[in-house]
Structure 1
């Protein structure tokens, strides 16, 4: 019986870990092209979830809500790039760190004033009744999370490898200066990466909201864990974030069950500290070579 409980907690946590992986993937997209990340990514998840909930409340069908929410997230990502990142990168400064944090705080305040401070349920046509797989209960909502995460990441990776815009993305990721010499616009490519990152954040919000509800504080609960996944996996590791996300989600669920819910955040913090101390490039990251 105890083994079934352990398996149940691990599986349920692993599905949530996929959401962390998706948000972490958004960090990777922007870091690849500009060596910058959006520290307000959690607020993009939250605001996009609220916007998608608004579309549902005005009567739009779910099959229109999802693309509408993704488009809104992409627009938010482009706004972050233009308002908080571009000038700092042109000046070769680290000002984007503070600016993305400020934009995130603005998004939090806007959400509280527009939608209120209370958590709200997120209606979905996906049934929530569970079914048994080898004694472990799994819900269609959890399956939808796995399908959505893997589908979005797979489509973006396919886009990067099979389209001209995607190849420009890969070129700037490999060597920005060489790409510009070949006629690739680094500025437009960075815009693309932030747009994709915002879309990924919106997808994460749409997937997780039916499970956790939508509220202004949902960003803080997700962003630290997603950042831990990105750093532990490596900011250039591709699908390595999926493995680390699964592991962290299962680990925090087990820690919450055996030690107490107050320790739920501990595994992510411990993994983050260990990664920074022992392997700063991440478990799946490539070692950086500096010329002297």
Structure 2
């Protein structure tokens, strides 16, 4: 087998895997502050992509569509937190699991009724001509995926480490009870985490839509892969989700070529099973000590 072909498949798959990593990073943001995740995150990706496409159809410039889509995604994240998560957390129940699933189904139904069931192309101002790097063709859309993923993750990490509000985020992540004793509002911090998670989901939708098209089911497979990435990497490692996401994407590309496209999903399932069996806290996760 030509090494160049293997490299092409691995690189293209790894760049696609960054989208899984970005969605998994959204899981991490909410889990850090509330030990909860939004099981309707895929629907946030999809609805935000549809909204962004609508902005383009209305003549909004691409440079304004992106921040508009991110704000819309953040608002959706806040809606999920307020209606599906807050009350369950206050009552210290696991009701947020079912409520976020129900909200996801609601968003899915709303998208079908508003935008229809057909997949639609997502225009992009980027040229379709690939760029060659060491003989491997990389499209400008794939480059934009990498730039977008690292940019937003870098900005959020910088925000968490360099700003007062970000330090509150870190404090609640470390010990919610202690943070509240220091005067930090855990409720507002959880709201912030869900808003950021929604914005991350929106960016994932904007980045992947020109590659996959926009449709009600566009995120169905991606969300399962993203969840696998989050579990395998560990729900407290931003670097881990990037690395595992790229590895999973590369394995998918190679598996679909060597074994067949029907086996494309197999690597993610195998990684998930191995992680749960061998290291439930994730490859980069930290084992916690619980007092009983």
Q: Which residue of 1 aligns with 2:71?
A: 71
Residue 15 in 1 paired to residue 10 in 2?
no
Query: After the TM superposition, which segments of 4 or more aligned residues of structure 1 sit over 6 Å from their partners?
Result: none
CA deviation string 1:197-219 (max 9, x = no partner):
00000000000001111111112
SS at match of 2:286: coil
Q: Which residue of 2 aligns with 1:42?
A: 42
SS at match of 1:239: helix
Q: Which residue of 1 aligns with 2:266?
A: 266
Q: Which residue of 1 aligns with 2:224?
A: 224
Q: Which residue of 2 aligns with 1:256?
A: 256
Q: Which residue of 2 aligns with 1:145?
A: 145
SS at match of 1:59: coil
Q: How does 1:174-253 map to 2 (within 5 A)?
A: 174-253=174-253
Q: Which residue of 2 aligns with 1:276?
A: 276
Q: Which residue of 1 aligns with 2:116?
A: 116
Gaps of 5+ in 1: none
C-alpha distance in structure 2 between counterparts of 1:67 and 1:38, whole Å? 22
CA deviation string 1:135-183 (max 9, x = no partner):
1111111110000000000000000011111010000000000000000
SS at match of 1:218: coil
Q: Which residue of 2 aligns with 1:285?
A: 285
Q: CA deviation at 1:238?
A: 1.8
Q: CA deviation at 1:131?
A: 2.1
C-alpha distance in structure 1 between counterparts of 2:26 and 2:163, whole Å? 19
Residue 4 in 1 paired to residue 7 in 2?
no
Scaled by the length of structure 2, the TM-score of the pair is 0.99
> 133-142 or 179-188, which moves further after superposition?
133-142
Scaled by the length of structure 1, the TM-score of the pair is 0.99
C-alpha distance in structure 1 between counterparts of 2:126 and 2:91, whole Å? 47
CA deviation string 1:250-278 (max 9, x = no partner):
00111011111111111111111111111
C-alpha distance in structure 2 between counterparts of 1:239 and 1:202, whole Å? 20
Q: Which residue of 2 aligns with 1:97?
A: 97
SS at match of 2:238: coil
C-alpha distance in structure 1 between counterparts of 2:100 and 2:262, whole Å? 29
Q: CA deviation at 1:291?
A: 2.0
Residue 85 in 1 paired to residue 94 in 2?
no
SS at match of 1:216: coil
**How many residues end up aligned between the 2 structures?**
292
Q: Which residue of 2 aligns with 1:61?
A: 61
Q: CA deviation at 1:124?
A: 1.0
C-alpha distance in structure 1 between counterparts of 2:215 and 2:203, whole Å? 16
Q: CA deviation at 1:239?
A: 1.7
SS at match of 1:31: helix
SS at match of 2:137: strand
C-alpha distance in structure 1 between counterparts of 2:48 and 2:206, whole Å? 8
Residue 164 in 1 paired to residue 142 in 2?
no
C-alpha distance in structure 2 between counterparts of 1:29 and 1:97, whole Å? 16
